[in-house]
Structure 1
Amino acid sequence: MKTNLAAFNTGSYYAGPKWKVLAWYFCNYYILNSAFPWPFALKRGLLRLFGARIGKGLVIKTRVRIKCPWRLTIGDHCWLGEDVWIDNLADVTIDDHVCISQGALLLTGNHDYKQPDFPYRLGEIHVASGVWIGAMAVVCAGVTCGAHAVLTVNAVASKDLEPWLIYSGNPAVAVRKREMVSPSVKVLNVTAI
């Protein structure tokens, strides 16, 4: 038996009504995925208009791609860096205070390479509070990133990340604990003139 891409079908996957998918395509292309620095409030508003559940203070940099905003939930005070791609054929949930750095990819879809018609294999992604997804890193379908985990530059998370650990490599493995310290307070020395 050989791969037969002519037999491919999306199975149970349904993107949404064609008018909505088409309308979002243009908004995504000309506003979110644009190099023009549109105001964050405009981008948040468009995402909400198309069904995304967005918390307070979302920062969305330029050239961000989001496949299906109606399958996206983002908590409070999150950052999406330049060239982030949320390829959400399935639900993506991002909790509060999450940083997804430039060029990172959240990938909810894959293909079943064991089947000749190469059907979709989908899995939801959950990124818990305080997680940092490093630049050019990939989070694969079905992965949960535990609270305050870090996925370093170019790492690939194909399995769940445990909370408070730093992961590196492909496939990503835990390399050490994430430890936080109290922010230092800088005192300015002001002298009278």
Structure 2
Amino acid sequence: MRPVQRLKMALLELWVSCLCWIPTPVGIALRYAGLKPFFASMGSVRIATGVEFVGLHNMRLGNGVRIGRHCILSAQNGSLVMDERAAISANVHVGADDGLIHIGARTAIGTGTVLRAANHRIDRTDIPMMDQGHVPGEIHIEEDVWIGANCVITADVRIGRGAVVGAGAVVTRDVEPFSIVGGVPARPIGHRLEKKQQGRNHVFEMSCF
């Protein structure tokens, strides 16, 4: 990377850091106006305090997107897309580095959840794993999905439309539309289209804004 490019990146990081810690609705308005030029595209978005961005130019945020406090959104050498009214609560880590993460419209993601589109390479034993680079992957979350608090969504997973992921679940495989999953690893425990679910309603500890 050329010195001029390094300087531009350093100045951008400083600008983002300054904007992201301004409280009150004034801060929300300043973040919207001050960060919008650096995104690939950005609709009417509400960004809370303390949010960290890496790779803004690789992010596309639709109208009505909400990002909670102290989230980390990273898309270095990757791509992050959040469709209209997608919402992530506080302390969520969305890591699209070297891969792709697509969060569908009207999807809600609870506090403390982690999404990682790439994994460390582990095939060699002669060098540390942290020096082996990454295997790129993709995460696709379709519209109207509800993901509870403290979940982990791993690479190469698709979560179907209208699905529910219970709090604390680790999703390592595809989730069918309108299904309800939970556990480690996440497994089907119900279906939203069933009229009766073993005589009781499934209740999960979900996180809201």
TM above 0.5, one fold? yes
Of 60-69 and 74-83, the range deviating more from structure 2: 60-69
- Give the secondary structure class of the aligned counterpart of 1:42: helix
Structure 1 115/82 Cα, relative in aligned 2: closer, same or farther at 3 Å?
same
Q: How does 1:146-161 map to 2 (within 5 A)?
A: 146-161=160-175
Correspondence 1:49 to 2:38: yes
Partner of 2:87: 79
Partner of 2:203: none
Partner of 1:112: 121
Partner of 1:178: 192
Give the structure with higher Rg (CA).
1
TM-score of the pair, normalised by structure 2: 0.67
Partner of 1:39: 28
Structure 1 24/82 Cα, relative in aligned 2: closer, same or farther at 3 Å?
farther
TM-score of the pair, normalised by structure 1: 0.72
Of 115-124 and 56-65, the range deviating more from structure 2: 115-124
- Deviation of the 1:65 alpha carbon: 0.6
Partner of 2:72: 65
- Deviation of the 1:35 alpha carbon: 8.7
Give 2:93's aligned amino acid: W
Of 157-166 and 35-44, the range deviating more from structure 2: 35-44
Check the 8 A contact 1:91/1:124 in 2, yes or no. Answer: yes
Check the 8 A contact 2:161/2:178 in 1, yes or no. Answer: yes
More strand by share: 2
Structure 1 164/39 Cα, relative in aligned 2: closer, same or farther at 3 Å?
same
Q: How does 1:87-102 map to 2 (within 5 A)?
A: 87-89=95-97, 90-102=99-111
Check the 8 A contact 1:147/1:163 in 2, yes or no. Answer: yes
CA distance in 1, matches of 2:65, 2:100: 18
Structure 1 22/109 Cα, relative in aligned 2: closer, same or farther at 3 Å?
farther
Q: Which runs of 5+ in 2 are unaligned?
A: 41-58, 196-209
Per-residue Cα deviation, 1:74-130 (whole angstroms, up to 9, x for no partner): 111111100111011111111111001111111112112232243312211111001
Q: Which runs of 5+ in 1 are unaligned?
A: 1-16, 182-193
- Give the secondary structure class of the aligned counterpart of 1:39: helix
Check the 8 A contact 1:98/1:130 in 2, yes or no. Answer: yes
- Deviation of the 1:19 alpha carbon: 5.8
CA distance in 1, matches of 2:62, 2:194: 25
CA distance in 1, matches of 2:83, 2:71: 17
- Give the secondary structure class of the aligned counterpart of 2:119: strand
CA distance in 2, matches of 1:19, 1:66: 22
Structure 1 81/23 Cα, relative in aligned 2: closer, same or farther at 3 Å?
farther
Partner of 2:177: 163
Q: How does 1:8-23 map to 2 (within 5 A)?
A: 22=10
Of 112-121 and 167-176, the range deviating more from structure 2: 112-121
Structure 1 46/35 Cα, relative in aligned 2: closer, same or farther at 3 Å?
closer
